[in-house]
A and B are shown apart, each in its own frame.
Chain A
Amino acid sequence: MVDLTLIIAGPQGGGIESAGQIALKTFVIKGYNVIGTREYHSNIMGAHSYYLMRVKDRRPGSVRLPVDALLALDAESVFTHFSDVREGGFIVYDPATAKSRIDQIQPMATPLKERLRRFFAERGEKPTVEAAIKAAEEHGVIPVGLPLKTLLKRVAEEAKTPPASVSKTVNTMGLAATLYLLGVEPEIVEKAIALQFARKEKVVKVNIIAARIAVEYVKEVIGAKARLPDGPHKGKQRMIASGNDVVGMGKIVAGLGFISYYPITPSSDEALYIEKHNYIAVPSDAVGELGYDKLSIVSIQTEDELAAVNMAIGAALAGARATTTTSGPGFSLMNEALSLAVEAEVPLVVTLWMRAGPSTGMPTRTGQQDVLHAIFSGHGDAPKIVIASGDHVEAYYDAIKAFNWAEKFQVPVIHLLDKYLASTMVSLDREDLDPEKIVIDRGKLVEKPGEGYKRYEITEDGISPRARVGDAVMYVTGLEHTPDGKATEDPVAREEMMFKRESKMKVVEEEIPEEDKAVLLGDKNSEIALVSFGSNKPIILDALELLRDEGVTARFVHVRLLSPFPGRLVAEILEGVEKVIVIEANLWGQLATLLRAYAGIKPQHSIVKINGRPFYDNELAGAIKRVLETGEERVVVRGGA
């Protein structure tokens, strides 16, 4: 069974992103499933970035270290990753960098420099690329030097252009060489290159030349490689998409009419993806029913997050399916408006892509630190729905469900995701994103409200018929109000509205299906339970598979609905469990706090990761074993550069 891992590393702006995508496409064309995640700095050019990917027959749920191959496009990449390659794996690097010393690399983080200096000092060596390669070789890693400058000259000669104009192909050269070492036919890489640079003929041509020259060189030096067999997923239409992409797709499929956003990593790519697809031809068989043939989505880049969320509220009031998307710092600014959406009963959808805080923190790194922030956002008693997605497919459907719930229950819905999911691309099949599996439910939306309409009419379930602004004389307000929306401070009217809003949340608890609240996975009878949420799901499932081979089994409770928290359900699922281990990417123990508060469960152990990188399946499996063996209360896992 094929299970390949690969790092493509280099300076930001050096084509790491496109090389990563070409690699993913290559393996998909080859018939495999892929997962690839991007690690980058909050920087435009020069700082270190890398793509970490995994290729399998079955769907890989996680990335991991060490890898089978490292493509190091500069000296910093060698230094950063040389110890992350497994025995028998490859490092492809430029031998021209061999003499480069750590102190010559300006962008490199000072703490990393210090760690490496100590490492080389202990070995009695100078901190050079050469020494790093030697250290890797001692571990059985095979270095493959690729003289980029010499090869670039050949590319320029063959393309009949000056060398400067082909300098951007070094990433392709490195990638083609690396993929050749992994047994991929160069023709498939060329197909992926053509796909990546579609409609840019010249770029395709020169990159293909670069790929061929690199492969020829490696063949000469290393000799022919055994061919990687084709994967099982051939002869069909597939997709590679990031978490940002699938959430954007879900929103559009859900009938999105309006998005307002302020740029912030890692949410912007979602907004930009929607903006790129904001004008869509309606399938001809739907035109008659819909009465229009072009779908237009209003997308507004606002002056700040305050405007973003308030504009979305306005659009939702006017009847559009409306959303904004943000990350922790922006969400902080949106808090007041969330409270308005609760009080005024506005069906608002906010997508919150968590990143590593507090404050500006590490803007381009992942974390799960905004769980409590999301749930308790907004002043006053402001109950809302918070749903967290475990993977790309869940994220897609949740983006649609979020709108259904927002409109049905007339409450704001926060869709909680993270940077890891945002910038991780996976291969998907048509049926993974099937819109037939879901309905569009607009709840009590009334088309013709008529005379005497009351926006906040008291009803049995607390949910009032909802007219669009512009269809009836009415009043929508963040002030406490009477059923007709007029401001009031009357104590009895106040209680009535408080209870009305509370009773809606009871309906939410009744009507959201169990599979959207918490899901029991893994070995359902084990006395050990892992409890987690969000993007950890597929990583934990991979870890459980590794553990099964070693005779360790556990239940896994994947919590989906974080507010209202399904305490009773989670408690039921955990019945008979002796050990509860919470897995989350924050130090506070935010999910653990919720378990204590809402499920009456006191988790004895936690496994956390707070370095801004995602969990890896193998380190997680190791941590679970360690908890079971040592009984440690908290294990911090630390993988990743």
Chain B
Amino acid sequence: MARSWLDYKSPAWVQWCPGCGDFGILNSIYRALAELNIDPEKLVVVGGIGCSGRTTFYVKGSNAHALHGRAIPLATGIKLSRPELTVIVSAGDGDLLGIGGGHFVALGRRNVDITVLLYDNAVYGLTKGQAAPTLPAWIQTKALAHPNIHDNVNPVLLAFASGYTFIARGYAYHTNQLKEIIKAAIRHRGASLVDILQPCPTYNNVMTNKWYEERVYYVDQDDPSYDPIIRTAEDYKIKLPKIMEKLMEFGDRIPLGILYWNQAKEPLEDRLEKLMPGFKDAPPGTRKISVNGKPFLHPFDVFKDRVIEVP
């Protein structure tokens, strides 16, 4: 059954400010899901805390709303218990890179098949505009008493260093391109990051739509020979210098599109299957755990390392 984007739209009122970049992201998510024809019951959108986290309630899915900073571990628990589900994390820059920075890194190390949509507006919107980890130094947005004295973290470079196997950047107002990026990210088997730049029309009066439009460009349009895909060790050697250049670029020019896509690395679920053949067929989430309402293992038969045969 083909699905339309309306099949993913929940009846909840969307509470974002007019002109918010989140609308573009939500629209792209709906359409990406429809084009991939994902069953809403098998879709899990895990939201963080903040404006972006509310996406959980706006997409029809089997969704969970996490604590601030903890969307990634919650999503990891779900995915590893039911590997057949499509799991998407939607959270903000403060959530994923500030309070949840450790988990952001750890997901890369684990390469679990989870798609992280990073709503990147460089401010904490819901708490009224404080500086987020992606706000460059010396920018003074209107809620700040002084210019920002912290440097900004580069999410795509951090993702690369952490081991994410799919890294892309999109722009919230370019919904067609963003939709395609999100589709590729969901299809990728492994940890994927989509850093989604977005204006916050309410609190970020510096990094506006105009600010972004003057800087962003698509890597594949800029250079049709740009190839982010890694399939072999040889690919890695040849393509990495160019990829690194794009990952590091953020300033007067900001590259968009799929920046890095490593198809050679197995996701954690495959490693678990390798260690424990049969894991995916009887995963922890859905398997039966009792026989006639009783446990089916006796410790004396299982934990032989503690058993002593007394003569």
Contacts and interface: CB of A to CB of B under 8 A. Distances in A.
The judgment on whether A and B are partners is yes
Interface of A: 25, 28-29, 31, 195, 233-241, 245-246, 249, 252-255, 257-258, 260, 276-280, 282-283, 286, 289-298, 300, 302-304, 306-308, 310-322, 336-337, 340, 344, 396, 400, 430, 433-436, 438-442, 468-479, 486-487
Given A28-B308, A337-B70, A477 B65 contact: yes
A280 B77 contact: no
Contacts of B106: 302-303, 307
Given A303-B105, A337-B67, A475-B57, A318 B295 contact: no
Contacts of A293: 278
Contact of A252 (B278, B302, B305): B302
A468 B301 CA distance: 31
A312 B77 contact: yes
Interface in B274-298: 275-279, 281-298
Interface residues of B, number: 73
Nearest to B54: A487
B177 interface: no
A476 B299 contact: no
B74 A314 contact: yes
Nearest to A280: B302
A487 to B, nearest CB: 6
Contact of A237 (B60, B82, B300): B300
B297 A252 contact: yes
Tell me whether chain A's interface is mostly helix, strand or loop, or mixed: mixed
A291 B61 CA distance: 28
B291 A289 contact: yes
B172 to A, nearest CB: 22
Contacts of B77: 258, 260, 310-318, 322
Interface string B57-98: 100111111110110111111111110110000000000000
B146 interface: no
A290 B288 contact: yes
Q: Identify the interface centre among B284, B289, B293: most chain A CB within 10 Å of its CB.
A: B284
Nearest to A198: B305
B163 to A, nearest CB: 13
A310 B78 contact: no
B81 A435 contact: no
Interface stretch (B36-44, B210-218, B230-238): B36-44
B307 interface: yes
A552 B102 CA distance: 57
Contacts of A279: 275-276
Nearest to B65: A477
B121 interface: no
Contacts of A317: 64, 74, 77-78
Contact of B102 (A237, A300, A307): A307
Contacts of B110: 300
B56 interface: yes
A249 B299 contact: yes
B241 interface: no
B2 interface: no
Contacts of B75: 314
19 contacts: A25-B308, A237-B310, A238-B308, A257-B287, A277-B302, A283-B297, A297-B284, A307-B76, A314-B77, A316-B77, A319-B285, A439-B290, A469-B78, A470-B82, A473-B60, A475-B65, A477-B57, A478-B67, A487-B65
